[in-house]
């Protein structure tokens, strides 16, 4: 970190001065989201993105919340489950506010994690799935997610979808619901590839009769340069530890080892990285019949391995590897004491004279 002791806390259009350290950060985020709902006109559309920073390292939660789980012996697991409980409480507050504003019946709520739990020392448990964060095994990529709200048809409520949905699909889905084009003209003009994502609005908002489970449009997920799921099959040809950890961005294709290829939790005494798996020639799993990835069937289905490798190579041909450049002190000198943007956009300056909401 070239900036040293500066604050990374931003409030919409400028540094959140005088707020850092004033409360548990999730309390600040909750206050902000509830305030937005309080001020919102229910007759107008709204997209609200509430990003929890918890159920993640560092394991920090107010003592009164952790004390509710004093019976959990392992300190990391105790803090972890307390954070889950706290998050559930905040979701309840947001839902209650939507209902009090008479907005719930016309609202779609989507809640999703971004990756599986960290299984080294941070209290997570992905069982019965294998693997965890930084792994393309199911424990690292099959995440907790649900959709709710009055916008969900009665016939869909309480049901389970086995359709594939990638995290990149939410952007396309929300754009479709809002009636806006997800095409990014500026990105196209800059030579960037088109926006990834498939619209799943029908799968969520139409009745079971109109869009039954299994009618989703996504048939494959390109997890990484070394992993692909297509239909019932999943191919893993290695891992990307160096890339993900940003230790060696030039090694964009990763290596043959898949880390944390085990069923360990994040609160057991074990070697930090657990057991690794060698997949240089390709590991193949039938994740519909074997979602816990207990059986590598590559030797039984060599033709499927080769077909999957060919498809993976086709998808990798369109990968975008960006040189992020070097760290710049401008990111911490334009806004004294705070991180912030430092490149003017379309002629606009970056003077520190914003009004906060």
Q: Distance between CA atoms of 117 and 129, rounded to whole angstroms?
A: 11
- Strand, coil or helix: what is 55? coil
pLDDT for res 182: 94
The mean pLDDT of the chain is 87
Average pLDDT over residues 239-256: 56
Report yes or no: 274 and 259 within 8 Å, Cβ to Cβ. Answer: yes
pLDDT for res 86: 98
Q: What residues have CB less than 8 Å from 104, skipping those under 6 apart?
A: 95, 98, 149, 150
- Strand, coil or helix: what is 339? coil
pLDDT for res 198: 96
pLDDT for res 185: 92
Q: What residues have CB less than 8 Å from 131, skipping those under 6 apart?
A: 116, 119, 137, 138, 139, 140, 258, 260, 261, 262, 293
pLDDT for res 248: 47
Q: Distance between CA atoms of 354 and 259, rounded to whole angstroms?
A: 45
- Strand, coil or helix: what is 275? coil
pLDDT band at 241; cut points 50, 70, 90 = low
pLDDT for res 254: 67
Phi and psi angles of residue 239, each rounded to the nearest 5 degrees, phi first: -135, 175
Q: Distance between CA atoms of 5 and 311, rounded to whole angstroms?
A: 47
Report yes or no: 126 and 116 within 8 Å, Cβ to Cβ. Answer: yes
Q: What percent of the chain has pLDDT over 90?
A: 62
Tens of pLDDT, residues 55-91: 999 999 999 999 999 999 999 999 999 999 999 999 9
Q: How many helices (H) and strands (E) does the chain have?
A: 10, 10
Q: Distance between CA atoms of 101 and 40, rounded to whole angstroms?
A: 9
pLDDT band at 267; cut points 50, 70, 90 = confident
Strands 14-15 and 10-11: antiparallel
Tens of pLDDT, residues 299-355: 999 999 999 999 999 998 888 776 667 777 887 877 878 888 777 655 445 444 443
Prior bond to 286 cis, omega within 30? no
Average pLDDT over residues 97-111: 97
pLDDT for res 191: 85
Q: What residues have CB less than 8 Å from 101, skipping those under 6 apart?
A: 37, 38, 40, 42
Nearest partner of 149 among 228, 191, 94, 79, judged by Cα: 94
Tens of pLDDT, residues 169-217: 999 999 999 999 999 998 899 888 888 899 999 999 999 999 998 899 9
Higher pLDDT, residue 17 or 289: 289
Average pLDDT over residues 155-173: 94
Specify the DSSP class assigned to residue 284. Answer: E
Residue 8 has pLDDT above 90, yes or no: no
pLDDT band at 21; cut points 50, 70, 90 = confident
Q: Is the dihedral of CA 65, 68, 74, 77 positive or negative?
A: negative
Q: What global pTM score does this model have?
A: 0.88
pLDDT for res 24: 93
């Amino acid at each position: 970190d070239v900036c040293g002791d500066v604050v990374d806390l931003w409030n919409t259009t400028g540094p959140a001065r005088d707020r850092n350290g004033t409360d548990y950060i999730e309390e600040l985020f909750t206050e902000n989201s509830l305030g937005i709902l309080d001020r919102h006109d229910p007759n107008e559309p709204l997209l609200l993105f509430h990003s929890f920073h918890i159920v993640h390292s560092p394991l920090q939660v107010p003592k009164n919340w952790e004390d509710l789980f004093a019976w959990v012996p392992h300190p990391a697991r105790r803090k972890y489950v307390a954070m889950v409980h706290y998050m559930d409480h905040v979701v309840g507050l947001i839902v209650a506010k939507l209902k009090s504003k008479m907005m719930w019946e016309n609202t779609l709520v989507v809640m999703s994690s971004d990756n599986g739990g960290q299984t080294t020392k941070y209290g997570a448990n992905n069982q019965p799935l294998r693997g965890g964060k930084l792994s393309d095994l199911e424990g690292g990529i099959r995440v907790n997610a649900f959709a709710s709200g009055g916008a969900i048809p009665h016939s869909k409520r309480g049901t389970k979808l086995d359709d594939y949905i990638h995290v990149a699909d939410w952007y396309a889905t929300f754009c479709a619901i809002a009636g806006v084009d997800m095409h990014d003209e500026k990105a196209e003009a800059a030579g960037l590839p088109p926006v990834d994502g498939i619209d799943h609005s029908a799968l969520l908002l139409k009745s079971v009769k109109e869009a039954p489970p299994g009618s989703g449009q996504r048939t494959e997920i390109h997890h990484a340069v070394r992993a692909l799921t297509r239909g019932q099959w999943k191919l893993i040809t290695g891992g990307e530890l160096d890339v993900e950890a940003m230790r060696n961005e030039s090694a964009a294709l990763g290596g043959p080892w898949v880390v944390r290829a085990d069923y360990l939790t994040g609160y057991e005494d074990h070697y930090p990285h657990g057991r690794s798996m060698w997949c240089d020639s390709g590991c193949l799993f039938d994740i519909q019949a074997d979602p816990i990835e207990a059986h590598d069937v590559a030797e039984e289905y060599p033709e499927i391995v080769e077909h999957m490798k060919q498809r993976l190579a086709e998808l990798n041909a369109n990968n975008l590897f960006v040189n992020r450049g070097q760290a710049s002190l401008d990111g911490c000198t334009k806004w004294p004491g705070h991180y912030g943007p430092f490149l003017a956009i379309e002629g606009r300056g970056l003077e520190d004279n914003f009004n906060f909401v």
